[in-house]
Copies of this chain bind each other. A is one copy, B any other.
Amino acid sequence: MYKTALFPGSFDPFTIGHESIVNRALPLFDKIIIAIGYNTTKDGYFPLDKRLEWIKTVFGEEKKVEVTSFKGLTVDFCREKGAGYILRGLRTSADFEYERAVAQMNRVMLPDIESVFMLTLPDHTHITSTIVREIIRLGGDADAFLPENLRNKIKVI
């Protein structure tokens, strides 16, 4: 059976932690769709098209990775894409509580969907898009927290 996983997020920006989760999950699935959920009322800090472009830069050659965006519910997009799995990275126990609530709600709305979790590496545990964004916004150098291909590319706006 063809196994597709959705890796949803706002990726504002995509970090070295996200990259590692996708790379380590790739052998487990036939396809991973990295999908930026967005809505018209609440923008991210970086523009949607930039965020998509950056992720494409990271996984340029990788055939099993698709990069896209969606409006609406994650479960509806899974249905549309035929994705049977939602992939998520877990950093801390605070993450876990939130991820559990979302996963259980998703399961009620789409019982076929299964959420699969992998751990961030120890060196990535402290890296959140929120803090990385704040560093960039304050003029700091966040390259250590970004995928290699994106270093020197993501700047304060």
Q: Which residues of A contact B (CB under 8 A)?
A: 1, 3, 24, 27-28, 39, 71-73, 75-76, 84-85, 90, 92-94, 96-98, 100-105, 107-109, 114-119, 121-123, 125-128, 131, 135, 137-141, 144-145
Contact = CB atoms under 8 A, between A and B. Distances in A.
A3 B71 CA distance: 34
B108 A119 contact: no
A99 B58 CA distance: 30
Tally of this chain's copies = 6
A93 to B, nearest CB: 4
A28 B114 CA distance: 10
Given A101-B126, A101-B131, A116-B118, 7 more contacts: A39-B138, A72-B138, A101-B128, A105-B135, A115-B118, A122-B125, A123-B123
30 contacts: A3-B28, A28-B85, A39-B137, A39-B138, A71-B138, A72-B139, A72-B140, A73-B140, A75-B140, A76-B140, A90-B96, A92-B97, A92-B101, A93-B93, A93-B94, A94-B97, A94-B98, A101-B127, A104-B125, A105-B126, A105-B127, A105-B135, A107-B121, A109-B140, A114-B118, A116-B116, A116-B117, A117-B118, A122-B125, A122-B126
